[in-house]
Amino acid sequence: MVDKLKFTLAIALVIAGVAGFYVLGEEQPLVLRVLSVLAGLAAGGAVAWFSAPGRRFGEFVRAAITETRKVVWPTRKETTQMTGIVFVFVVVMAIFLWLTDKSLEWVVYDLVLGWK
């Protein structure tokens, strides 16, 4: 029950920060209005962080970062080569589909229907 209250308070703080953006109006500097949104997000995030779901989310983020570090990322050369292969494949498929379309168009309109 306490975690639900914390989560509700966190959402209320975020909404208050966004509402502050509009309440301050256009006569206030934009920096102040943006700071109200950021303050609402920060306060809401801080309250949510101290709830059980917030702690679980923090553990999930740490585990995700750990797993990301284990990934063997491709080198620049491998990335460039694979991108080139994808572009060539797209061009070949485009030509193939264009030829198929034109062949079917010729068969249907010229041979079957007799339109020219």
pLDDT by position in tens, the chain (length 116): 888 888 888 899 999 999 988 988 888 899 999 999 999 999 998 998 888 888 898 899 999 999 999 999 999 999 999 999 999 999 999 999 999 999 999 999 988 888 86
Encode 54-69: b = buried (16+ Cβ within 10 Å), e = exposed. beeeeeeeeeeeeeee
Tokens of 26: 């256009």
What are the tens digits of pLDDT across the range 38-61?
999 999 989 988 888 888 988 999
85/60 same-domain check: no
78 & 96 share domain? yes
Spacing of C-alpha 80 from chain mean position: 24
- Domain tally, the chain: 2
Same domain for 49 and 62, yes or no, is yes
Separation CA 12–CA 41 (nearest Å)? 10
Q: Tell me, yes or no, whether 22 and 61 share the same domain.
A: yes
Distances from the Cα of 17 to the Cα of 35, 66, 72, angstroms: 9, 33, 40
DSSP 8-state class, residue 27: T
